[in-house]
Structure 1
Amino acid sequence: MTHNPDIRSTPSIGLLRGKVVFISGASRGIGAAAAHLFAHEGASVVLGARGLDALEQIVDDIRSTGGTADAVALDLADDASVHAAIDRVEELHGRLDGAFNNGAVVQEVPGQLQDTTATDIDRQFAVNFRAHWIAMNAEAALMRRSRGGAIVNTSSIGSRRANPDLPAYGAMKRALNSITETAAVSWARDGIRVNGLTPGGTATEMIDEWEAASPGVTRWISDSTPLGRMAEPREIAEVAAFLLSDRASFVTGAIVPVDGGAGA
């Protein structure tokens, strides 16, 4: 699969020019695509993930084209690590204009609800829900000290419907939708917009891993998507870039499907 096509051939419109944007889960997939795209559109990006070697390569790529990027170690399952990452943004730039909370884990072994273990539930809660709650609060606190900002959370099409193969994942992503909407209402007066994305099948390393565990799943995803294919990571990042930009100044509390019609 092609995961991160080169964006340098596409002209920048300066969609995020002058903004400081933090991206979690930035070492691969949608997060890596967002890192390249946001920097291409003028943002100074701070990238967080556990895979520091991969992050440093992305940082080097962005800097080589004149962009501004830094990397920070981030373990979403560790509250102190999340707070330290946002503190690092403040040290580097003194403010935060946008945050793309994109890090996630999928169930190690897809399976039915009756086969889902307490360990599955705990891991999904820690990374796919609690970590975003911690991050959103830390990000909002920094945004309040400057001029507000925008937050985008990556949820999933699996949050919008029954999810028999990934029940714990779907449940935590649905909970993420709820706190996204609640934050949008709660923080509107602070000048902070909060939105979510529900991508459908996207050609990322996570899907590769799911295909290895359940052969045929990628064909099933493509066949069940009206557009007849999976998304490329950049196609998801493009919507996140819009929501983080001033072009979306009156959009908050939205959970935006980016699924090729699969949820229609």
Structure 2
Amino acid sequence: MKHAPAAVLGAATVVLLVGPLLLPDPDAADFAALLAGPSAAHPLGTDQLGRDLLARVVDGGRLTIGLSLLTVLVTGLTGVAVGLLAAATGVVGQALIRVVDVLAAIPVVLFGLLAAVVLGPGIASVLIAVSLIGWTPFARQTYLLALVESGRDYVSGAVSLGAGPVRVLVRHVGPNIAAPLAAHARVRFAATLLTISGLSFLGLGVQPPTAEWGAMVAEGREYLFTAPQVVLVPSIAVVLTAGAVAWWGRSRTNES
């Protein structure tokens, strides 16, 4: 059980990398097999346009996971920088964290609506919506971890030797909080994947006919009772991926 998340993620990675080389065109329509069930030609069935669901869920996974990774990278670097800055600036840092708390309380969907109004629905809108406040959990986590580490003896020793606050945080505190921050990033990746899929499901993110897990669920929801695979396949992909990454992240947090 301990290695189950890693096994799921490893298998998913192999499928996403190798799948496009072996599977048919995800946008190719087979009008003789509309909403068909699983078969030798289409192992997971087809959607309402006769497109192979296995090919589309693999293609959509590359986009959904890619967007999630990019967002976590950008928001993680931003949040860690803000958190370290807040930890190094005393009263100013405390005020900065209060601002972070206010921003974190604003729903991502609201930013998604605003971005969609300004830019129109699409990849740019969903990235902006998630990134605008996605850095706040990283900032708060970094700030709290840095405060705890700053009270340890090795930090006092570095200060007594003349190290300034920035040097202490970057050279001494930073490396010691890297592991819990990496675990936090995995949990945030799971949340980000769900958010991006959710915004696409609401029509604010990736637009059809582009394959993306949330958009695929939205496209197929009217066929839920006649051809449930159209909804279940991308939904299961979202749940398994997000669940495996979150489980992996929490297990690493407990170990830390």
Q: Give the shorter-chain TM-score range.
A: under 0.3
TM-score (norm. length: structure 2) = 0.28
Query: Which has the higher Rg, Structure 1 or Structure 2?
Result: 2
With CA pairs under 8 Å and 6+ residues apart, which has the higher RCO, 1 or 2?
Answer: 2
> Greater helix percent: which structure?
2
> Greater strand percent: which structure?
1
TM-score (norm. length: structure 1) = 0.27
